[in-house]
Amino acid sequence: MFAYAEALALLMLILGACAAYWDWPGGAAVRRAGSWLWEWARANPAAAILWILVLMHGLMLAGLPHDVQDQVLRTRSTNLDQMRDDPVAVLVGSALWTELSDLPFATAMAFFVWGPAERWLGTPRAVAAFFIGHVGASLLLAGRAAHLVGSGVLGSEFTTIVDVGVSLGSLCLAGLLVYRLPFAWRLPVIGALLLVIRSSFFLYGRYSTAGHTIALLIGLLLWPLTRAASVRARAGTPWIEPVRPAPETVVPAPPRS
């Protein structure tokens, strides 16, 4: 199934490039879309790199047998076994892996969460917040899981559970983006985000839902990142349009008479 999807995506990419180069019908629209995406990537370099890494890992997994896919993801997950064996590698690497079927979610996060957060907070703060949310939620969740497994509340299968993806870092950034909204909108949006997370319980189970809630709360606690003067100055930048903020200019002092 994924092989056909990859072939179709490659064919569409080739046809789009040909249409843009030889000015086939629709070629102008393809060129405009390509120009927009290029400007978006220049304005959001970290978001673009993260999306490309997720895409590459998803494509790599798609070419593997299903049981091998599970094994690869399990060794890159923040489950208890991997946290004991190689905690640093899995805490960072688990944020960069996902299945190809989750690429639409990662794409939506890139345009509606990663990009806006990066242009508003700046690349260093946005990257730091993403990984603080991912690592922090993973550590708290693993600690709680270890306690519950040790006390017999959870079964031993939780020691090898697959737990990878961009959702924890994305929800942390979403929590930070709440502070970009008008004050009257903040509590309703927080409530809506918690409702969405709660409703995902039926899809992802209690373990992932708890991690998503923790990541959102970490983002809300990172409020001090939004108080820098440069961040406040960028609060009016477009949410989606890939406009890079103009560099700050220094007004020279008037000459002395």
Residue-wise DSSP of 161-204: ----SSHHHHHHHHHHHGGGS-HHHHHHHHHHHHHHHHHTHHHH
pLDDT at 60 over 50: yes
- Specify the CATH architecture of the domain 44-233: Up-down Bundle (1.20)
Cβ atoms 97, 62 nearer than 8 A: no
Would you place residue 221 in the very low, low, confident or very high pLDDT band (cuts 50, 70, 90)? very high
Cβ atoms 81, 160 nearer than 8 A: yes
pLDDT at 249 over 50: no
Query: CA–CA distance from 222 to each of 49, 130, 178, 182, 186 (Å)?
Result: 23, 11, 11, 18, 15
Would you place residue 205 in the very low, low, confident or very high pLDDT band (cuts 50, 70, 90)? confident
What is the arithmetic mean of pLDDT over 121-141?
95
Kindly give, in sequence order, each residue whose CB lies less than 8 Å from that of residue 54, ignoring residues fewer than 6 positions away.
96, 97, 98, 103, 106, 166
Would you place residue 59 in the very low, low, confident or very high pLDDT band (cuts 50, 70, 90)? confident
More reliable by pLDDT, 29 or 140: 140
Would you place residue 27 in the very low, low, confident or very high pLDDT band (cuts 50, 70, 90)? low
What is the arithmetic mean of pLDDT over 43-69?
90
What is the arithmetic mean of pLDDT over 85-105?
88
Would you place residue 45 in the very low, low, confident or very high pLDDT band (cuts 50, 70, 90)? very high
The per-residue pLDDT for 9 is 54
* Cα 216 to Cα 48: distance, rounded to the nearest angstrom: 22
Mean pLDDT of all residues belonging to the chain: 83
pLDDT at 102 over 60: yes
CA 198 to chain centroid, in Å, comes to 19
Weakest mean pLDDT among 29-38, 65-74, 108-117, 205-214: 29-38
Both tokens assigned to 105: 């979610």
Both tokens assigned to 5: 């999807």
Both tokens assigned to 73: 């993801």
More reliable by pLDDT, 165 or 19: 165
Cβ atoms 172, 215 nearer than 8 A: yes
More reliable by pLDDT, 239 or 199: 199
Q: Residue 224 carries which side chain, given as an amino acid letter?
A: P
The per-residue pLDDT for 252 is 52
Residue 113 is given by DSSP the state I
pLDDT at 144 over 90: no
pLDDT at 72 over 60: yes
Kindly give, in sequence order, each residue whose CB lies less than 8 Å from that of residue 12, ignoring residues fewer than 6 positions away.
none
The per-residue pLDDT for 18 is 63
What residue spans define the domains of the chain? 44-233
The per-residue pLDDT for 81 is 86
What is the arithmetic mean of pLDDT over 97-105?
86
The per-residue pLDDT for 22 is 60
